[in-house]
Chains A and B, each alone.
Chain A
Amino acid sequence: MNKTIRRKNLLKVSGIAVGVLALSSTLLVAPSQAAPATGSPIKVGVLTDMTGAFAIVGKSNKAVAQFTIDEINKSGGVLGHKLVMDLADGGSAPDVATQAASRLVNQDHVSMVVGGVASFTRVAVRGVIATRGKTLYVWPASYEGNECTNNVWNTGSAPNQQVDPTVKYLLAQGKKTFFLAGSDYLYPRNILARVRQDVLAGGGSIVGEEYVPLDMTDASNLTSKVVAANADALFEVVVLPGTAPFIKGVVDAGYKGTIAGTLFDEGINPLIGTEAQGLIGVQDYYGPIKDAFSQSEVAKFNAQHPEAKGLFTSTFNAPAWYRSIYLWKAAVEKAGSFDTAKVNKAMDSVSLSKSIGGPVGFAPGTKHLKLSMYLGQSNGDGSETVLKSLGQISPYQCSAATN
């Protein structure tokens, strides 16, 4: 009696265990995909953070991707195939992002992946997508540089494209002494290293350099150091959520110098408030740039995607997302195929005569874009004034070692 009860129990529980395993293994099984049949839709993997800290950026990215794909489909698709967006949420965390990327590549067999918001996501997913997954990966964000992995293409601005013209402008304005401040991680450190190099090369001097924890919200300590140093210019890369309290603090404490950075535009200014007045920066797009194509495209975007109205900004990587998909389209058409190796080869030299922000194109051998850049000054109401159109700036060169 006792034995049979126990055996029944064993059967039941091992049945459950086996069932769970079977369920988890078959629940999501999708038939694997061969080469696309003519006319069948092509999946574009869109990886962004729909949840977590960067959800606001994800909202913009998703809308821009959908807008671009719709536009391409309306004009006939790519090589006769319609595009469909395959959205994956990176959850603002690298381990979530790799899982999402793996689904795109290994289960959905997308033709390419565009996306990632933070650099930690890029370095985590590029192995899954580009190296192990042998799928084209377009990284559409302004970043710290040095990404030269095979199958990876950078379509955001690199440090030199933002930093060099900004520092040049400040030096030309007669600024001699600089204070550098940033959050303590790779991006700010690399940007500020470039600033230091440019300032010293241009005859200026660095009077202070400070790094604060990523999640700093009480900026008073840093603020007092900046005010005490009283440099002609402050170059800052303190990221959210610290940006606003820091800049407010510095301005309110009576700092008279010029504040410059890489992260000011219509997306970020409203968070800073009236203290944003006079902030200097260089971006690949601002709302008021004098470019008819950009103006009409963004107007269309705002009309078609009211949920993301006002989110088409450079700091949310919107122009980079837009051109990423068009550049890939151009490469596919040039290669006459969706095959990764062929498209990868074609990417090296594709360009767009029209894009939001102006003409762009890959500088062969660099994996980075020759980008149209603009010098901008923020206004207290959150808007930007374009001080100067800088034309196309040559891309960044990868150093031999990649990180």
Chain B
Amino acid sequence: MKRRMRIGIAVVCAVPILSPLLFLSGNDYLIQAATRIFIYGILVLSVEMCWGQTGIFTFGQAAFFGFGGYFAGYMAKNENITDLGVLLLIALVAGVIAGTLIALFLFSGKRVGELYVALVTLAISYVCEKLANSWTFVGSGNGIPGIPFPTIFGKEISSSIALFFIAFGLFAVSMIICILIIDSQFGLAINAVRDDEERAEFFGYNRSLIQIIIFIFSAVLASIAGALFSLSEGFISPSSLGLTLSTSTVLWVVLGGKGTFYGPMIALAILESVDVEMQRALPSLWRILVGLMLLLTMIFLPKGLMSLGEKSRNKREQKKTT
């Protein structure tokens, strides 16, 4: 078993063992905050798969997140479909459809640059936010509030702890699937597309198909995360589709180190858990500090915080071979 998978399993085991600590505090706010981290964790995974592993710079991943959130939220509220499994399936289908359309547009033709992909996806996220903001059918600027709790076998899931475990469970499954993909032969191929897509074509790889598959896969992950968000928070609004969330996601990935797999999730966990308190302690400074941190990381650690460990590993490896 590879290192990445061993860590993954360690995390998956550690959470249920440690989480009672969290529940004992009886503090729903913390449980909800942790739930949110796992939900955003799925979103971060989707960007890491696209950008970190395949080199597709998706800058507008929130569009899929919000899309899934709106679909599931609308169905739950207006069509009385509350079964969690069905709602997640709806989000999955929505993600496949949206992801396929955009992936075909972006990747079925000639090779396009990383920046082009970033701009197109960013624009899509922007347009989706605008659209949701002015479309009365989905509540315009108010979004969809009052989304009912999901049900499993007809039983309502309303406790924070249950929602925590649902979010964690889906996160764990998504993470393990991602690891399995990266560690598979297909993972080698997507890395080859990331590192030199033209070269991969000269080996006979179907570069365009690989990009389309990964893009759709990550759209589905983001969409499921969005559905989970709207169901556990009880609302979804245009900002969940838009630029702020899209850029936050990229920020987590850059800070943690794209391509390092765990880096982005660690950055997310740290930033999200201190965000509210820091925002409270340094109301006008905190956001600026985060921006500064991003800038400094990009200048001094272009591969993110996790690259510190990578460097020493490389050195050891080099010593071994010479």
Contact = CB atoms under 8 A, between A and B. Distances in A.
B7 interface: yes
Interface string B16-54: 001101100111111011101100000000000000000
B234 A127 contact: yes
Interface string A18-58: 10111111111110100000000000000000110000000
Given A99-B36, A102-B32, A51 B27 contact: no
Interface of B, helix, strand, loop or mixed by DSSP:
helix
A403 B10 contact: no
B151 interface: no
B277 A28 contact: yes
A22 B270 CA distance: 11
Contact of A10 (B10, B19, B33, B37): B10
Interface stretch (B107-115, B210-218, B278-286): B278-286
Contacts of B284: 51
Contact of A106 (B29, B36, B146, B274): B29
Q: Which of A10, A25, A189 has the most CB of B within 10 A?
A: A25
Nearest to A132: B234
Contacts of B29: 28, 102-103, 105-107
B30 A28 contact: yes
B140 to A, nearest CB: 5
Interface string A112-124: 0000001110011
Contact of A17 (B10, B142, B160): B10
B105 to A, nearest CB: 25
Interface in B126-143: 130, 133-134, 136, 139-143
Given A89-B280, A127-B235, A17 B33 contact: no
A214 interface: yes
A331 interface: no
Contact of A127 (B145, B283, B316): B145
What size tier do the contact residues of chain A reach? 35 or more
B141 A21 contact: no
B121 interface: no
Interface of B: 3, 6-7, 10-11, 14-15, 18-19, 21-22, 25-30, 32-34, 36-37, 130, 133-134, 136, 139-143, 145-146, 158, 160, 233-235, 237, 239-240, 244-245, 262, 266, 269-270, 272-274, 276-277, 279-280, 283-284, 287, 309, 313, 316
Nearest 10 pairs between A and B by C-beta? A123-B145, A106-B28, A24-B273, A106-B29, A107-B29, A14-B10, A127-B234, A185-B141, A25-B22, A32-B26
Interface of A: 5-6, 9-10, 13-14, 16-18, 20-30, 32, 50-51, 87-89, 91, 93-95, 98-100, 102-103, 105-107, 118-120, 123-124, 126-128, 131-132, 149, 184-186, 189, 213-214, 402-403
17 contacts: A10-B6, A13-B309, A14-B6, A24-B33, A24-B37, A25-B21, A26-B22, A29-B25, A32-B27, A51-B287, A87-B280, A93-B239, A95-B245, A99-B32, A120-B143, A127-B235, A189-B136
